[in-house]
Amino acid sequence: MALKRDLYKALEDVVGPENISEAPVILNSYAQRGRPRFEAVTLPHTTAEVQAIVRLCNRFGVQFKASSSGWGAYGDAGGPGVVKLDLRRMNRILEINEKNMYVVVEPYVIYAQLQAELMKRGLNCNITGAGSNCSALPLAAHQGIGHLSVSGSYGERNQLALEWVTPEGDIVRAGSLGLIGQWWCGDGPGPSLRGIIRGNVMPLGGLGVYTRAAQKIYHWPGPATFPIEGVSPYYRPGRIPPGFMIRYISFPSPEKLNQAAQKVGESEIGFILMGFNPGMISANIATNNNEDLAYMKQFTDSVQGPGFLIIMAGNSPNDTEYKRKTLQKIMEDFNGKPLEAVEDPENAGGFMWRFIRVTSSIREVARASGIFAGEVGGTDVFYLMHQYILRSAPVKQRYIDEGKLLADGTDPFVQSVEHGHAGHAELLIRFNKQDPESMKVAAEIGRFANKTAVEGHFGVPGHVWGDAAHDQYGPHTSDYHLWLRKFKKTFDPKGASESTNYITADD
Amino acid sequence: MIAEDKLLKLVGAGNLDREPAALEEYSRDMSFVNAIKPGCVVRPRNTADIEKIVKLANETLTPLVPVSSGPPHFRGDTVPGIGGAVIVDLSGMKKIIRVDRANRVAMFEPGVTFSELIPAVAREGLRLNMPLLPRRSKSVAGSLLEREPVVMPKYHWDIGDPLACVEVIFGTGDMFRTGAAAGPGTLEEQWDAGGAQKEAAGPSAFSLYRVIQGAQGTMGIVTWASVRCELIPALEEPFLIGFSKLDKILEMVHWLIRLRLVNECFVLNKAGLAAIMAKKWPGDYREIKDILPPWVLFFNIAGYEYLAAERVSGQVADMTEVAQRVGLEPVRAIGEIPASEVLKTAQRPSGEPYWKLRNQGACHDIFFLTIYDNLPGIIDVMFDEAHAMGYPTSEMGIYLQPIVQGTNCHVEFNLFYEPENQGETARIKELSDRAVTSLMAEGAFFSRPYGTSARTIINRDAATVAALKKVKSVLDPGHIMNPGKLCF
Amino acid sequence: MALEDYRSDMEMCCRCSICKFVPLEKLKEMRHSYVCPSIARYNYHTYSGGGRMGMGIAMLEKELEYDARLLDVVYNCQMCGACDISCKYAMDMEVLEPINEIRIKCVEDGHTVPALDKVINSLRKQGTMIAGSKDERGRWSEGLDVKDIAAQKAKVVYHAGCRVCYDEDAWQAARASVKLLKKAGVDVAIAGKNESCCGGRAYQMGYREDFLNQAKKNMELIKKSGAEILVTGCADCYHAFKVLYDKFDLKGDLEVLHVTEYLARLIAGGRLKPTRKVNIEVTYHDPCHLGRLGEPYIHWEGKPVPGHIRIFDPPKEFRRGTYGVYEPPRDVLRSVPGLKLVEMDRIKEYAWCCGAGGGVKETNPDFAAWTAAERIAEAESTGAGAIVTACPGCERNLKDAVRENGSTLRVYDIVELLEKAI
């Protein structure tokens, strides 16, 4: 279904002929295999252009969907009749305010770029766990929880002021931006519109377009540039900067891990705390899949149970020493055992930088088979999130035993947020996407995950999106789906913002 | 107007007030909003009562004004905006529902005050990140819903902190629980699973607690709240730094928070600190004020379970290095005021009478958010306005509270005045109205607009107003919740 | 191999976009963070390595027709391989190979662009991919006292390449190369007017058969000469002889060296002694086909192992740019007394392309110029007064950009600077 010519012409007038295309070869690349194609792809450069596109879509009764780095499948069209806004021409860092610890970006700044610029100034940012190849807009990622979240929080809570082109094409500048034109507060006057534009997950394209946003940034005690040497893929620092330390610690049981993670949180020593399992550690360090399998066996044999990776970064020698000693005590108190391969000087620096720059999530999720799935918990107290995913471990094991999934262990991947005040957990599965039985497993694990969350009272997981899922959870969860639907209808009366992965206004 | 006989039947005679004297108490407060008498005051006992009250109010479109703190009130948000309103006074709902050490969270009803909650959480080794010297009758839930600034910026990750979840009856009469509390499951089922109603965001793709905060009761009535708690330190070392100019103080504040060296951290001018610390009036106040430098920074370094002494001594050393670099001298006492006493004071609610009223009997606060960069200009502007209106700046209290881990700074000008002096009262009101506009031009963000200038402030941003009205149309389509406040 | 043989590689693409950027571990600042000129210029995801993977699958499935836009995407790519290297930091999949196969498929299906047809005609008729006649090919070596490979046997044959032969600006470096080799006692010959194009760029453009014809012709000449070593100063030719000829089992035992590799060896062995000071601050541009694409070809034949992780039997080793020729040119530069080398942000395996490759200079001179201008600006940002490289093709495009943009940057070949020092 091609766009009406007058709509196409009007869009062309907005962005210029070179910045809109309906050529099949272009449309093809914006859709995952087998998914519907967009009717046209636009490349707006300014908020005004975004607004104009949105208004035109409303006027002509077509839908629109924006994305930045476009990795997630939820950036796809849900069906025909959708115009894509690819925001890659909106790619500037607008402000870095060191004294007041915030930064303002457009959607197609990626986190690697932002972190690099911040590090030069002794600052840092939380990077979404999917990787620093993703958008640095705190509103772009599905959740925005990242490796640094134990000390650097995550998208929902790092968010300050934002500029939002609503589904109807109004521009709302939330917080201090609207009232006084400054970026450092996203809330007020009065109630905060941040409450509508996201929860612990994003509307995934279904509630308009976020064109600029400010976020909190954090202190960086390391060097202006990390001393990385070597040639791809063998990058490692020539030396580990002073004050930095990395350990992978396994515990005899999930309970001991929880307790240790709690104490790490309460003593505020973690810079990065990630409950990776051996499968993820091996994928992280390995430079190819064969190596991955070898490391996986080595690490699995070397750990005593579930574990976490911790990186500490001291702001001073005193701070470094306190953190080191405290971690040692916590390890002793909870029978933690270090995985020597991680702190081996040959490997430590490389691990450290891959986690700080978040470059190897792709290795962890995609290198094996190009696809991954599983369960994504929400954010809630650490213990609950851990327990939720643990429920699925036997299910995963069964499918591994049946040969339908990659045998990469069943330990959940857990994260600490804000020094243990919250947590997040996921179950990752990898499989051959050509194998229809494996694809069925992915769906089955999803169904089990939802059943567990509802019946086990584990909250609303992060992988819940779309009408069917919201309708499944809502009745058990304060009927939130009805409210969400009302807000969708109120802010998007024409249903112009494509919201297959959010919620539609259809009752 | 809501059928009072139905209210009577619902809550009982002891919980419904219609006497003029009782109504008079709620018809005005210490702000400059117009006095408007309510129709009655109802005191619900529980969530079910509140649900029914809201449903009844919807039947007749009777305005409801929720109140959770006891008097005196200062902001005008609990004074009805229109006649015939029903005050829903929650201050009698005083249950402390749960305190959870492991998850560092506590849950309580709206009538619970800081004086009541602090010892309850302390029994579990927990403490609250609280505002500076709230009044005795101040509701904790009320404070959280107002997004009041708190004294430990390190633990203030987000402007909504430390509020976690709430149970709310929206203006529609529907009950909703925010964040993790939403479900699945009842609260008890969630507890059995290991849940703690701690995560504020959600459920899923919205965070409705954020539109309830700052709403001044215009979206619904909160029936309980949970609050993120911190640990009681094993060891604390407080310090004071006095200086004549703000620039070095702010530089010090920036680094103390950025390096996560301190818990409590705030700045007061001499008038403000003297007003807080004076025990006898007016003698103490003047004496203290005379010896204090113009600006005083207070901060506290703390250690916890693991290696508390080593941690504190290391952080004190690091703090000292920062101070030397900035050119300031941290001390344990300034004159007769030891830092330890400031710490003790800051970790409790205000004694009676409320500290802001001790000076001259009344106090009007002008408060807003800004950032360090804007502060010098803002203070200059405020002083200019004060001079223009004949208010002595030496008597003005100034409180600077870094929040959101140093990203924002709450600024509060305390204008002490004699309420019986009509001329002075009028001048304070005029000063407040004038100052709001000039302060905004200097970078003051009135994120919590109250009283007579609220509408002026909020209506400056038409797009936000339009969006907020959409939110209101969903949560309170009947417009019964505290009409006349904000832009509603 | 055909495009179909790379189906499973293309299907591995998960749209992570690292193909657009320098390896993220190396990213130091906002500017100079892109590594793919095509996506940086044209913005649609289709123009990136990942976009091309999706395009390849769709072409195999006959979901796309050969229209102007498809050809625009296909041919607006310098074939620089940066996407391939960035991707392979994290993934086990081929990227550049299927991109090349897409071109080959376009040619086989009869969909080319006139500018490239013109170049191939010149190749077929005159044995050169730079405009010029066969008769003029040897002019660059006039007066040079060197063996003629057609008449005399020699251990080493110096292959000048089309750019050198038909661009007078490139003669000095080539002549200096031969002189320096001779000075070091190397038994070197040239083919002169009997030299023919290596065919490498023809392959990159998709003209596989023409490439193979050239390759066979060249190897016959070399075998006849008895030369054991082929040395060249052109990165494209280097890649052709060392990698592509090997890929098609045509190289045999011939050792292929870039002139900088050979010179570095000679300097290290004391057979060349740079002693004269050359006071200059330079930055070095890694040519794509000498650097990241210059590592040896890895022969492999096997099958995927069934299962949920992409491994092969026997195990497949991917070329990831790790063993490209990065240090020898730098060693040569460092051997020059008085010369100061400052590095750009995008170097070695993640160097930004000069802009000329893959037929882009012919099909879209504006894009080639834009790409080069980016590189010139990056070079200028180092503070160096000159950019030096090791490929006449790069030199030509960078010089053109310097002139068009009014830059004061000087452009050198490494050998020109070394010559000054000896």
| DSSP secondary structure string for all residues of C360-403 | HHHH-HHHHHHHHHHHHHHHHTTT-SEEEES-HHHHHHHHHHHH
Task: Take residue A489 and report the two structure tokens written for it.
Answer: 């209808």
Give residue A323's pLDDT. 98
pLDDT tens digits for range C61-71: 999 999 999 99
Phi, psi of C51 (to 5 degrees): -60, -40
Pair type for strands A236-237 and A228-229:
antiparallel
Q: How many CB pairs under 8 A join A and C?
A: 187
Nearest residue of A to residue B228, measured between CA atoms = A421
β partners of residue A224: none
Cβ neighbours of residue A314 under 8 Å, at least 6 residues apart? A221, A243, A244, A320, A321, A322, A323, A324
Cα distance between residue A263 and residue A333, in whole Å: 10
Nearest residue of C to residue A42, measured between CA atoms = C44
Helix (H) or strand (E) holding A56: helix A47-60
Task: Take residue B456 and report the two structure tokens written for it.
Answer: 């002026």
User: Chains touching chain C at 3 or more Cβ pairs under 8 angstroms?
Assistant: A
CA distance, residue A236 to nearest chain C CA (Å): 9
Cβ neighbours of residue B213 under 8 Å, at least 6 residues apart? A187, A191, A192, B144, B145, B146, B147, B160, B163
Tell me what percent of the residues of chain A surpass a pLDDT of 70. 100
CA distance, residue C259 to nearest chain A CA (Å): 22
Nearest to A23 among C11, C45, C67 (CB): C67
Cβ neighbours of residue B383 under 8 Å, at least 6 residues apart? B393
Identify the residue among B169, B206, B455 best suited for mutation to test binding to A, counting A beta carbons within 10 A and taking the highest.
Answer: B206
How many Å separate Cα C20 from the centre of its chain?
A: 19
CA distance, residue A402 to nearest chain B CA (Å): 30
Whether B407 sits inside 8 A of A330 (CB atoms) is no
Task: Take residue B428 and report the two structure tokens written for it.
Answer: 């304070």
| DSSP secondary structure string for all residues of B234-261 | SEEEEEEEEES-HHHHHHHHHHHHHTT-
Domain count within chain C: 1
- In order along its 488 residues, chain B shows pLDDT tens digits of 888 899 999 999 999 999 999 999 999 999 999 999 999 999 999 999 999 999 999 999 999 999 999 999 999 999 999 999 999 999 999 999 999 999 999 999 999 999 999 999 999 999 999 999 999 999 999 999 999 999 999 999 999 999 999 999 999 999 999 999 999 999 999 999 999 999 999 999 999 999 999 999 999 999 999 999 999 999 999 999 999 999 999 999 999 999 999 999 999 999 999 999 999 888 899 999 999 999 999 999 999 999 999 999 999 999 999 999 999 999 999 999 999 999 999 999 999 999 999 999 999 999 999 999 999 999 999 999 999 999 999 999 999 999 999 999 999 999 999 999 999 999 999 999 999 999 999 999 999 999 989 999 999 999 999 999 999 999 999 999 999 999 99
CA distance, residue B94 to nearest chain A CA (Å): 24
> In chain B, which residues have their Cβ closer than 8 Å to the Cβ of A384?
193-196
Cα distance between residue B197 and residue B178, in whole Å: 9
Flag whether C99 is in a domain: no
Q: Do chains B and C touch (3 or more CB pairs under 8 A)?
A: no
Cα distance between residue A25 and residue B243, in whole Å: 67
Cβ neighbours of residue C325 under 8 Å, at least 6 residues apart? C238, C258, C260, C261, C290, C291, C294, C295
Flag whether C289 is in a domain: no
Flag whether C230 is in a domain: yes
CATH number at residue C238: 3.40.50.1860
CA-wise closest residue to B8 among B61, B82, B86, B83 = B86
Whether A193 sits inside 8 A of B445 (CB atoms) is no
pLDDT at C304 over 90: yes
Tokens 């000693």 -> residue = A325
Identify the residue among A168, A192, A333, A486 best suited for mutation to test binding to B, counting B beta carbons within 10 A and taking the highest.
Answer: A192
| DSSP secondary structure string for all residues of A336-396 | -EE-HHHHSHHHHHHHHHHHHHT--HHHHHTTTTS-EEEEEEEEE-HHHHHHHHHHHHHHH
Nearest to A387 among B185, B194, B213 (CB): B194
The secondary structure of residue C80, as a DSSP letter, is -
Whether A99 sits inside 8 A of B405 (CB atoms) is no
CA distance, residue A419 to nearest chain B CA (Å): 10
* Residues A126 and A143 sit within 8 Å (Cβ to Cβ): no
> pTM for the full model?
0.97
Flag whether C353 is in a domain: no
How many Å separate Cα C141 from the centre of its chain?
A: 23
The angle at the Cα of B414, spanning B410 to B418, to the nearest 5 degrees, equals 165
Whether C310 sits inside 8 A of A370 (CB atoms) is yes
Give the pLDDT mean for C170-194.
Answer: 96
Which of 216-255 (A) contact B at CB < 8 A? 216, 219
Task: Take residue A54 and report the two structure tokens written for it.
Answer: 């949105």
Give residue B280's pLDDT. 85
Cβ neighbours of residue C209 under 8 Å, at least 6 residues apart? none
pLDDT tens digits for range A181-231: 999 999 999 999 999 999 989 999 999 999 999 999 999 999 999 999 999
Helix (H) or strand (E) holding C50: helix C49-60
Please count the other Cβ atoms lying within 10 Å of the Cβ belonging to residue C366: 9
* Residues B296 and B241 sit within 8 Å (Cβ to Cβ): yes
For each of the domains in chain B, give its residue range(s) and CATH number, in order of start: 4-89 (3.30.43.10), 96-231 (3.30.465.10), 235-346 (3.30.70.3450), 355-448 (3.30.300.330)
> In chain A, which residues have their Cβ closer than 8 Å to the Cβ of C75?
none
CA distance, residue A191 to nearest chain C CA (Å): 36
Which of 131-150 (B) contact A at CB < 8 A? 147
Nearest residue of C to residue A37, measured between CA atoms = C63
Cα distance between residue B221 and residue B65, in whole Å: 9
* Residues A358 and A364 sit within 8 Å (Cβ to Cβ): no
Whether B463 sits inside 8 A of A178 (CB atoms) is yes
Cα distance between residue B11 and residue B4, in whole Å: 11
Whether C27 sits inside 8 A of A116 (CB atoms) is yes
Nearest residue of A to residue B486, measured between CA atoms = A190
Q: Which residues of B449-458 are buried (b: 16+ CB within 10 A; e: fewer)?
A: bbbbbbbebb
B410: contact with A, CB 8 A cutoff: no
Sheet holding A171-174, edge to edge: A93-97, A102-105, A209-216, A159-165, A171-174
Q: Where are the alpha helices (DSSP H) in B157-214?
A: 187-193, 209-212
Identify the residue among A121, A151, A163, A196 best suited for mutation to test binding to B, counting B beta carbons within 10 A and taking the highest.
Answer: A196
User: Chains touching chain A at 3 or more Cβ pairs under 8 angstroms?
Assistant: B, C
Identify the residue among B147, B230, B445, B481 best suited for mutation to test binding to A, counting A beta carbons within 10 A and taking the highest.
Answer: B445
What distance, in Å, lies between the first and last C-alpha atoms of chain A?
A: 26
Give residue C287's pLDDT. 98
How many Å separate Cα B289 from the centre of its chain?
A: 26
| DSSP secondary structure string for all residues of B73-101 | P-SSTTS-SSTT-EEEE-TT---EEEEET
Give residue A334's pLDDT. 98
Which of 361-390 (A) contact C at CB < 8 A? 362-363, 365-371
Cα distance between residue C231 and residue C252, in whole Å: 15
- How many residues are present in chain A? 507
Q: Which residues of A139-167 are buried (b: 16+ CB within 10 A; e: fewer)?
A: bbbbbbbbbbbbbbbbbbbbbbbbbbbbb
β partners of residue A124: A218
Cα distance between residue A178 and residue B164, in whole Å: 26
Cα distance between residue A123 and residue B198, in whole Å: 29
Cβ neighbours of residue B227 under 8 Å, at least 6 residues apart? B105, B106, B107, B108, B117, B128, B140, B144, B162, B163, B164
> In chain A, which residues have their Cβ closer than 8 Å to the Cβ of B203?
199, 378, 459-460, 473, 477-478, 480
A100: contact with B, CB 8 A cutoff: yes
Task: Take residue B450 and report the two structure tokens written for it.
Answer: 């109250």
* Residues C137 and C193 sit within 8 Å (Cβ to Cβ): yes
Whether C44 sits inside 8 A of A29 (CB atoms) is yes
CA-wise closest residue to A311 among A266, A286, A362, A276 = A276
3-class DSSP state for residue A14?
helix
> In chain B, which residues have their Cβ closer than 8 Å to the Cβ of A184?
371, 407-408
Which of 478-507 (A) contact B at CB < 8 A? 478-480, 483-484, 486-487, 490-491, 502-503
A193: contact with B, CB 8 A cutoff: yes
Whether A231 sits inside 8 A of C67 (CB atoms) is no
CA distance, residue A286 to nearest chain B CA (Å): 35
CA-wise closest residue to A39 among A27, A29, A54 = A27
* Residues B319 and B301 sit within 8 Å (Cβ to Cβ): yes
Phi, psi of A502 (to 5 degrees): -125, -110
CA-wise closest residue to A233 among C318, C48, C287 = C318
Identify the residue among A15, A19, A28 best suited for mutation to test binding to C, counting C beta carbons within 10 A and taking the highest.
Answer: A28
Nearest residue of B to residue A178, measured between CA atoms = B461
Question: For residue C262, what are the domain limits?
Answer: 114-268
pLDDT at C1 over 80: no
Flag whether C362 is in a domain: no
pLDDT tens digits for range C100-147: 999 999 999 999 999 999 999 999 999 999 999 999 999 999 999 999
pLDDT at C384 over 90: yes
User: Chains touching chain B at 3 or more Cβ pairs under 8 angstroms?
Assistant: A
Give the pLDDT mean for C368-374.
Answer: 98
Nearest residue of A to residue B314, measured between CA atoms = A318
- How many residues are present in chain B? 488
Whether A28 sits inside 8 A of C33 (CB atoms) is no
B255: contact with A, CB 8 A cutoff: no
pLDDT < 70 positions in chain A: 1
A283: contact with C, CB 8 A cutoff: no
A268: contact with B, CB 8 A cutoff: yes
Cβ neighbours of residue C32 under 8 Å, at least 6 residues apart? C22, C344, C345, C346, C352, C378, C381
Helix (H) or strand (E) holding A323: helix A317-333
* Residues A137 and A70 sit within 8 Å (Cβ to Cβ): no
Q: Where are the alpha helices (DSSP H) in A358-498?
A: 361-365, 382-401, 436-456, 467-473, 480-491
The secondary structure of residue A434, as a DSSP letter, is T
Flag whether C389 is in a domain: no
Per DSSP, which regions of C29-91 are E strands?
none
Tokens 């010959």 -> residue = C189
B456: contact with A, CB 8 A cutoff: no
CA distance, residue C293 to nearest chain A CA (Å): 13
Flag whether C226 is in a domain: yes
Give residue C142's pLDDT. 94
CA-wise closest residue to A50 among A213, A212, A214 = A212
CA-wise closest residue to A129 among A158, A149, A115, A110 = A149
